Structure 1
């Protein structure tokens, strides 16, 4: 299993809009690109959210994510409009796992 972690710096007053768009983008990537899903977390800094997405493998994550679904494209644009900046903060290969549902 492979995990990618992202940091999102959100513009003031845009958290709810960002989270709504993030969910739509995440659903599309799950349905069209083979991800195992994602989680979004608040940090101690109210303008920073951290997300991580799980994938079956690094190779699946690296594949071209050419999603043409109109809802995905609109949500992706909304996400970008809510951001000051974003970045991938870690790419991680799982070596041991005892995460429980």
Structure 2
């Protein structure tokens, strides 16, 4: 298992477009490419950050190469992004993260 950290600067007023594209890609990656889920955050300084888990590094890189009906979702994200930083692939060393239900959080934003 690996984790990947993504970071973006998003255009003001484009947040909803970005979230829609991001969610579409995440769900497809879960269904077809070995992603184990992802969380999207916004830092206090306005940077958008995503943390995702994958079965393996190969699964992650294969998903990035695949276009599997993600073109429209990628366009949504690209239209909203000012700057995308290179993803950081991480290998867990110690994991004390508790699995929790976060569905209700989406309704608060």
Q: How many residues align?
A: 98
Counterpart check, 1:92 vs 2:94:
no
| Dislocated runs of 4+, deviation >4 Å | none
Partners of 2:73 and 2:87 in 1: CA distance? 22
> Shift in Å at residue 79 of structure 1?
0.4
Q: Does 1:81 align with 2:79?
A: yes
CA root-mean-square deviation: 1.4
Unaligned runs of 5+ in 2: 100-109
TM-score for both structures, normalised by structure 1? 0.87
Gaps spanning 5+ residues in structure 1: where? none
Q: Which one has a larger percent strand, Structure 1 or Structure 2?
A: 1
Partner residue, 2:58: 59
Q: How does 1:18-37 map to 2 (within 5 A)?
A: 18-37=18-37
Query: Match of 2:49?
Result: 50
CA offsets per residue over residues 9-55 of structure 1, 9 Å max, x none?
10111111111111111111111211111110010122x20001101
- TM-score normalized by structure 2? 0.81
